Amino acid sequence: MRLLWLGAGIPVLGAVLTALVLQLLSLDGESEPGPAATASGASSAGGPSAQPFAVTARQEDEAGCTALPRRVSAPSDRAELVSGGDVHAVVRRNQGARAGELTVGFTLEGGDRSLTVTSIDIEPKSPRAAAPLAGTLLCEPGAGGEPKIQLFADMDSPDPVFLTGGTSTRRYFKENVITLAPGEQVNLTATFVAEKGSREFGLVLRYVRNGKSGKAPVPAPHRGRYAVTGYAPRYGAVYEGSSGGGYRRVEDPRPCPGAPAAQGC
């Protein structure tokens, strides 16, 4: 029997056998790709009927404070703040993070077949929290009241996971799963809290459909990022106002508009 050799001594017969083995392995895989998510947080073209599911995220707590790592210095950014323009764009450009806590609402919508969400994993971008952001603080007064928390995560923890409540140590997805029927919508609320430092993170949803596992990232609201920071004792600049009505700079460099109890204002 003669073998035809190519290049650096790889026989054609060996290449053919390797291709056959790889093809057989691919037919017996136990995982399936997750839905491709768009910037808005929904699945890509085709909607829930063409994808395992769709997921969208929205920021629930518009009132409150957002911290930036540096003082706002660009004239265009200052103009956006004073005029009440696209403040979300200013926060994105300056890598801002929600101060104190970030509350996000999620809507999961089932596709053409039932599936079970087994977990939503928090994936920090760094192993430890960094120092609180202390450049600029943007505060929007709220009407008060506590949001109803379904999921809770302590982002000061080295390995944050979703818990069943703010004072609980019980892992939510250790005891619970979420079942999505075709076309069904399920709403969740998650609150991420930071007191000591700042943290950027991602979210990955894991699911099982027809006995096969899959995963998909959960895009952040406003085409931004998931990030939360504790309050700093002092800031380079503090602004108070609202996205629609504009912000004004206040003289006190302490975060009094957002966290008076924590900073002794």
Judge if 122 and 163 occupy the same domain.
Answer: yes
Lowest-pLDDT range of 33-42, 62-71, 98-107, 154-163: 33-42
Mean pLDDT along residues 124-138: 95
Q: What is the span of the domain harbouring residue 21?
A: 1-30
Say which amino acid occupies 34: G
Judge if 82 and 173 occupy the same domain.
Answer: yes
Query: For position 260, what pLDDT does the model report?
Result: 65
Query: For position 9, what pLDDT does the model report?
Result: 41
Lowest-pLDDT range of 9-13, 88-92, 120-124, 163-167: 9-13
N- to C-terminal Cα separation, the chain: 89
pLDDT > 90? residue 22 = no
Domain count, the chain: 2
Lowest-pLDDT range of 23-32, 187-196, 254-263: 23-32
Lowest-pLDDT range of 119-128, 137-146, 190-199, 251-260: 137-146
Top mean pLDDT of 42-51, 77-86, 193-202 is at 193-202
pLDDT > 50? residue 45 = no
Query: For position 140, what pLDDT does the model report?
Result: 86
Judge if 125 and 220 occupy the same domain.
Answer: yes
Task: Say which residue, 36 or 179, is predicted with more confidence.
Answer: 179
Tell whether the torsion through CA atoms of 258, 261, 263 and 265 is positive or negative. Answer: positive
Judge if 255 and 153 occupy the same domain.
Answer: yes
Judge if 119 and 172 occupy the same domain.
Answer: yes
> pLDDT band for position 34 (50/70/90)?
low
pTM summary value: 0.77
> pLDDT band for position 142 (50/70/90)?
low
Query: For position 259, what pLDDT does the model report?
Result: 72
pLDDT > 90? residue 119 = yes
Judge if 4 and 53 occupy the same domain.
Answer: no
Judge if 191 and 202 occupy the same domain.
Answer: yes
> pLDDT band for position 118 (50/70/90)?
very high
Judge if 76 and 2 occupy the same domain.
Answer: no
Judge if 3 and 70 occupy the same domain.
Answer: no
Judge if 155 and 198 occupy the same domain.
Answer: yes
